[in-house]
């Protein structure tokens, strides 16, 4: 039986917890009595408690995040009732700030704020020697990166074959965007490059082909970026898939030339625009050259095969609906593969809180602490934006409506999709679990009644898109046809559609 359990509740099974593996890698002599046990937020806390207690640990380390704090609080409550002697240690970004105010930290025995690799080892050493620290809240020690043991050996074969494997070539961020926890970093710190690439080589030899880099600024130091891309270029095969987060306005020619060498289907770039409004950017301490950013996105779209996932945030201080719509239209014009419409969240510890009074910003007091209204946006409008984001993900980002989407958007993308959003909600009264055939039927009706699209053009596009879905039987918006009859486009890229879905999952 393990003496120490490291655990967390992942958002989905295919996610892996890199943080747990860092803790395990740096436990030294305690590794032999430690076990990593991962769960998901879809499992019942009472069942998780049963599994944990069956292992009879003395110490339980739990990583707490914005997406799992509710379920983890319930789990800790159960564990403390069932086994008051179990020592529970919390860590992670959700409990690293405003720590004493949280119910979950009051339940736990200890909380390590910030970096945990060194401090968790030291705490476990004390506890196993039956020495109890005097303070409940322990400030994590940030060790130089070259002193940390890397976590990559502790991804299992199952992780490599079936789940997303996360890697990082650097930590931190030099930018100070106030909505992000990275605003608290002093700068970005790189791992020693040769050591990092040696670890990547071992993962490659074990069969890993999908690498999701979590670096906030992958293209900050161009020589390092080039070295990492060269590493993969020299090994690339048909299964390789790499995900990076790019700074949008920093794309020198040497990096452009390197990106162009990657074949189709191998690169995905996550590009955070967040807002194109210069006044809003200045207010939240975001430094971004908008014209360079737009030019770089357009160049990537037109000159490379990289899949482009871009981000906008709604609800930033002083940004109204018209300003956001203008930014959305500018981004649509650049034709990225995906635009994630995110809703501002007040992450614990972020400097965005300084604008709360000035802009009458009201946040949800419960996770995920999303913005509910501002002086520019009332609650009802914010609710519609939430629906807009959800429908956009179903229709715009999913890849299911590639032929139909241009007809829906026309030359006023934000305004027309806003109209479509309003109609879809009135007609369906739901934003989740809309069956795909019904969604096609709703769009068929709304395209004519709300957006005034020529019925022949609309049906031609919808039939082309529907053919790729693999649905069987009658076509819901064209019941005189069956899917068997609608074969003209069916051979087109179910492959490309499936690949699009896989890429979409990589950014969840």
Per the CB < 8 A criterion, the answer to whether 12 and 508 are in contact is yes
Per the CB < 8 A criterion, the answer to whether 144 and 19 are in contact is no
Instruction: Give the residue extent of every domain in the chain.
Output: 4-143, 164-377, 399-508
> What's the CATH number for 4-143?
3.40.50.2300
Q: Rounded to whole angstroms, how far apart are CA atoms 154 and 49?
A: 24
- Output the tens digit of pLDDT for each of the chain's 508 residues: 899 999 999 999 999 999 999 999 999 999 999 999 999 999 999 999 999 999 999 999 999 999 999 999 999 999 999 999 999 999 999 999 999 999 999 999 999 999 999 999 999 999 999 999 989 999 999 999 999 999 999 999 999 999 999 999 999 999 999 999 999 988 899 999 999 999 999 999 999 999 999 999 999 999 999 999 999 999 999 999 999 999 999 999 999 999 999 999 999 999 999 999 999 999 999 999 999 999 999 999 999 999 999 999 999 999 999 999 999 999 999 999 999 999 999 999 999 999 999 999 999 999 999 999 999 999 999 999 999 999 999 999 999 999 999 999 999 999 999 999 999 999 999 999 999 999 999 999 999 999 999 999 999 999 999 999 988 888 999 888 777 767 644 444 444 555 555 555 556 6
Neighbours of 461 (CB within 10 A): 21
Q: Rounded to whole angstroms, how far apart are CA atoms 195 and 480?
A: 63
Rg (CA), the chain: 24
CB under 8 Å, gap of 24 or more: what pairs does 408-411 form?
Answer: 408/443, 408/447, 408/451, 408/453, 409/332, 410/451
What pLDDT score was predicted for residue 505?
57
- Domain spanning 164-377: which CATH class is it, in words? alpha beta
Q: Rounded to whole angstroms, how far apart are CA atoms 335 and 183?
A: 29
Backbone phi, psi, residue 66, to 5°: -60, -30
Per the CB < 8 A criterion, the answer to whether 63 and 33 are in contact is no
Per the CB < 8 A criterion, the answer to whether 398 and 436 are in contact is no
Using the Cα atoms of residue 297, residue 302, residue 307 and residue 309 in order, give the sign of their dihedral.
positive
Q: Rounded to whole angstroms, how far apart are CA atoms 97 and 112?
A: 10
What pLDDT score was predicted for residue 37?
98
What pLDDT score was predicted for residue 493?
41
DSSP state of 494: H
Q: Rounded to whole angstroms, how far apart are CA atoms 168 and 121?
A: 22
Backbone phi, psi, residue 17, to 5°: -100, 95
SS3 293: helix
DSSP state of 396: I
What pLDDT score was predicted for residue 499?
54
């Amino acid at each position: 039986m393990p003496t120490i359990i490291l655990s967390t509740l992942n958002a989905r099974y295919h996610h892996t917890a890199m943080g747990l593996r860092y803790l395990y890698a740096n436990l030294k002599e305690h590794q032999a009595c430690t076990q990593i046990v991962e769960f998901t937020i879809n499992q019942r806390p009472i069942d998780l408690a049963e599994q944990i207690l069956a292992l009879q640990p003395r110490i339980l380390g739990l990583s707490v995040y914005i997406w799992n704090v509710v379920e983890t609080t319930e789990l800790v409550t159960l564990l403390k009732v069932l086994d008051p002697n179990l020592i529970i240690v919390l860590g992670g970004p959700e409990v690293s700030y405003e720590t004493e105010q949280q119910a979950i930290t009051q339940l736990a025995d200890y909380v390590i704020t910030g970096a945990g690799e060194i401090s968790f080892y030291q705490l476990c050493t004390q506890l196993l020697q039956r020495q109890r620290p005097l303070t409940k809240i322990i400030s994590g020690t940030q060790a130089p990166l070259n002193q940390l043991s890397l976590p990559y050996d502790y991804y299992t074969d199952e992780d490599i074959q079936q789940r997303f494997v996360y890697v990082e070539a650097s930590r931190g961020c030099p930018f100070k965007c106030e909505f992000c926890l990275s605003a608290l970093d002093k700068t970005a710190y790189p791992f020693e490059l040769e050591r990092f690439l040696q670890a990547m080589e071992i993962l490659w030899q074990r069969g890993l082909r999908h690498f999701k880099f979590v670096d906030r600024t992958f293209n900050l130091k161009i020589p390092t970026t080039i070295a990492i891309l060269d590493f993969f270029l020299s090994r690339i095969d048909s299964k390789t898939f790499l995900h990076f987060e790019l700074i949008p306005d920093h794309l020198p020619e040497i990096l452009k030339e390197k990106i162009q060498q990657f074949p189709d289907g191998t690169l995905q770039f996550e590009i955070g625009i967040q807002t194109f409004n210069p006044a809003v950017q200045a207010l939240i301490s975001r430094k971004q050259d908008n014209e360079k950013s737009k030019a770089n996105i357009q160049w990537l779209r037109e000159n490379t095969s990289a899949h482009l996932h871009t981000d906008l945030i709604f609800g930033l201080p002083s940004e109204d609906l018209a300003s956001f719509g203008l930014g959305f239209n500018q981004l649509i014009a650049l034709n990225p593969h995906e635009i994630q419409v995110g809703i501002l969240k007040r992450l614990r510890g972020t400097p965005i809180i300084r604008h709360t009074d000035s802009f009458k910003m009201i946040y949800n007091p419960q996770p995920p602490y999303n913005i509910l209204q501002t002086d520019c946006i009332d609650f009802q409008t914010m609710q519609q934006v939430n629906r807009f984001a959800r429908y956009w993900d179903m229709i715009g980002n999913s890849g299911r409506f590639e032929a139909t989407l241009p007809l829906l958007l026309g030359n006023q993308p934000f305004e027309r999709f806003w109209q479509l959003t309003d109609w879809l909600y009135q007609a369906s009264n739901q934003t989740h679990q809309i069956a795909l055939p019904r969604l096609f039927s709703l769009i068929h009706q709304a395209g004519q009644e709300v957006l005034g699209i020529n019925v022949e053009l609309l049906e031609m596009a919808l039939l082309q898109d529907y053919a790729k879905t693999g649905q069987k039987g009658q076509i819901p918006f064209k019941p005189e046809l069956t899917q068997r009859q609608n074969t003209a486009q069916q051979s087109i890229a179910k492959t490309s559609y499936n690949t699009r879905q896989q890429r979409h999952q990589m950014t969840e």
